[in-house]
Amino acid sequence: MNRRKFLSHSAVALSAGSSVLGAARSRANRPDCNYRIVYNDDGHTLQRVSGIGELLEKGVDRFIGTQVDALFWSVGEADVFYFRTRTAEMYGEHLKRFRSAGALRFIQGLESVLKEREDYFQAMADRCRQIGIQFFVTVRMNDAHDSPKGWNAVDLYSQYKRAHPELLLGDAVHPSFATGFDFAYEQVRQNKFKVIEEIVQDYDLDGIELDFLRHPAFFKPDEAYRNRHLITQLVRRVRALVDRASESRGKPFRLAARVPFTFNLAFKLGFDVPTWIEEGLLDVVTAGTPRGHESDLSMREYVEFVGGRDLTLLGQIGLYHPAEQTRATALNYWKQGVDGIYLFNWYAPLWDRELWRKSLVEIGDPGLLKHRDKRYLIDEQVGSLWRRSHPKAQLPLKIQQEKVGGPARIRFFVGDDVPAAAAEGKSVKAKLVMRLEQQMDDDDLQFRLNGVDLPREKEEVRREPTLFGSRDFLHLPFRADILKSGFNRLELVLKKRNPRLAVPLVLAQMSVEIDYGSKG
């Protein structure tokens, strides 16, 4: 496999039974899936189109001239689907009125497309081949956007769910996931397989993705680990299905999956991802989090485990962010050894084509990210909704006085090789941007980066906009060559704190900005 790496993968010796080795041998000649960028569209491009022509223009042709090598198109949410299906329920077929303007816009767009082309995503697959990219259908395996106590998209609530509330997770999980199915029931797994089987058999696609991550509640929490074999059995069935399709058509039909970015998180949710990889069940793996907002995920576990296998590993970036932040996240993934970048829930193409395009013509080539401005963001703790599927974040960080708890520490990865850039004559600037809470003017706070004390003479406080208004951010310039390529450590040393204050000083937000003067 022509893997795009900046570091060597470690070979991991694994024991496997004869059936596993046999399965691996039978798929030894699979073609590579060399995707620079995979773009996941949740199907809501349909809100902005009228007819098949406009769908092909906005949904496919927009990728001409970019580094996108595969389009993953979502065909449903909750338990309803965006096409006429024999095995499940099509979105809107039982509704006369809709509870949001967005829902009505969506169904109008879908109806306009179906009127002209019933198999519209076959038309999308054909157009993708014409412009030189691959087309996958992605199936959200247990989407719960129909939860009235979560996202409240109740128009998505299927007739089957109304008839079979006993098959739902209910009070056993967070309310936002309550309308998800309990995959401990064979009927639930069989229903999902039938939809997948219909898609694989009826459409000439390049592959199908099983998205286990969008809403990752599949079992009651205390049953997830011991039921992991049930999901593995389902993945094996789908693998056998796509292998039959490949053989009968004489060309590859690939299988992808989106999964948690650590094996421990996967096990907690009922996914035995190492077994899936060992048995060669997948061609493409995207490792990330449900939201995909995180910018500092470690891919080391997957990179080492996948090393040497015929498998494409993608690092995920969720939601559109400014180009500087997207570059930093992408370069970190490339430096850790992934094969490509997976973009999830990127709505920018529908809002601002030029902003969106800036990233899609550069982040698929790590060479183009060299000496480009970056913003490395340190992640913040997510809410209770995502606790089981996300890592514990470093922020917010309580800063105790040095004599009580020692320095507070932040560890972060930087893909840039700043010393090398400086050696090449590049003028590089760097700074920390931080938001502190419960700060007093007489706090004696010092910063130490990779063992070097940072002077504070040139710092400034700026009032900057946030989601809910505006807040003060501390901008602290420092010598760029202090940064290391790879992991860095920032220490926050609180020498003095007013004893009359009962609450701790808190580092709430932080980023590291690198300025090459690249202007964009």
- pLDDT(178) > 70: yes
In this prediction, residues 333-338 reach a mean pLDDT of 96
Digit-coded pLDDT (tens) for 207-237? 999 999 999 999 999 999 999 999 999 999 9
- Over the Cα atoms of the chain, what is R_g? 24
* Confidence band, pLDDT 50/70/90 cuts, at residue 389: confident
Q: Are residues 157 and 255 in the same domain?
A: yes
* Residue 29: predicted pLDDT: 45
Q: Are residues 79 and 179 in the same domain?
A: yes
* Residue 380: predicted pLDDT: 87
Q: Are residues 400 and 319 in the same domain?
A: no
- Residue 128 in contact with residue 60, Cβ under 8 Å? yes
**380 in any annotated domain:** no
Strands of the sheet with 444-449, listed across from one edge: 408-414, 486-496, 444-449, 452-454
**16 in any annotated domain:** no
**424 in any annotated domain:** yes
In this prediction, residues 160-166 reach a mean pLDDT of 97
Query: Which of the 8 DSSP states describes residue 305?
Result: H
Q: Are residues 363 and 488 in the same domain?
A: no
**402 in any annotated domain:** yes
**18 in any annotated domain:** no
Q: Which of 368, 384, 416 is the last residue of a domain?
A: 368
Digit-coded pLDDT (tens) for 11-51? 332 233 333 333 332 344 445 789 999 999 999 999 999 99
Residues in contact with 318: Cβ distance below 8 Å, sequence separation at least 6, in sequence order: 288, 289, 291, 292, 293, 294, 343, 344, 345
The total domain count for the chain is: 2
- pLDDT(6) > 60: no
- pLDDT(112) > 70: yes
Digit-coded pLDDT (tens) for 458-511? 999 998 877 667 889 999 999 999 999 999 999 999 999 999 999 999 999 999
**9 in any annotated domain:** no
Q: Are residues 409 and 264 in the same domain?
A: no
Query: Which of the 8 DSSP states describes residue 171?
Result: G
DSSP states of 80-114 as a string? EESS--SSSEETTTT-SS-SSHHHHHHHHHHHHHH
Q: Are residues 358 and 399 in the same domain?
A: no
* Confidence band, pLDDT 50/70/90 cuts, at residue 150: confident
* Residue 123: predicted pLDDT: 98
Q: Are residues 354 and 440 in the same domain?
A: no
Q: Are residues 361 and 401 in the same domain?
A: no
**401 in any annotated domain:** yes
In this prediction, residues 170-180 reach a mean pLDDT of 96
Digit-coded pLDDT (tens) for 72-103? 999 999 999 999 999 999 999 999 999 889 89
In this prediction, residues 276-300 reach a mean pLDDT of 91
Q: What percent of the chain has pLDDT over 90?
A: 78
Q: Are residues 352 and 490 in the same domain?
A: no
* Residue 1: predicted pLDDT: 40
* Residue 23: predicted pLDDT: 36
Q: Are residues 207 and 350 in the same domain?
A: yes
Q: Are residues 307 and 165 in the same domain?
A: yes
CATH code of the domain containing 510: 2.60.120
In this prediction, residues 367-387 reach a mean pLDDT of 90
CATH code of the domain containing 357: 3.20.20.80
* Residue 504: predicted pLDDT: 95
In this prediction, residues 306-314 reach a mean pLDDT of 94
- pLDDT(350) > 80: no
- pLDDT(293) > 80: no
Tally the residues of the chain: 520
H or E, element range at 304: helix 300-306
Q: Which domain holds residue 119?
A: 32-368
* Residue 465: predicted pLDDT: 77
Longest dimension (CA), the chain: 76
**4 in any annotated domain:** no
Q: Which of 333, 350, 368 is the last residue of a domain?
A: 368
Q: Are residues 106 and 242 in the same domain?
A: yes
In this prediction, residues 394-399 reach a mean pLDDT of 95
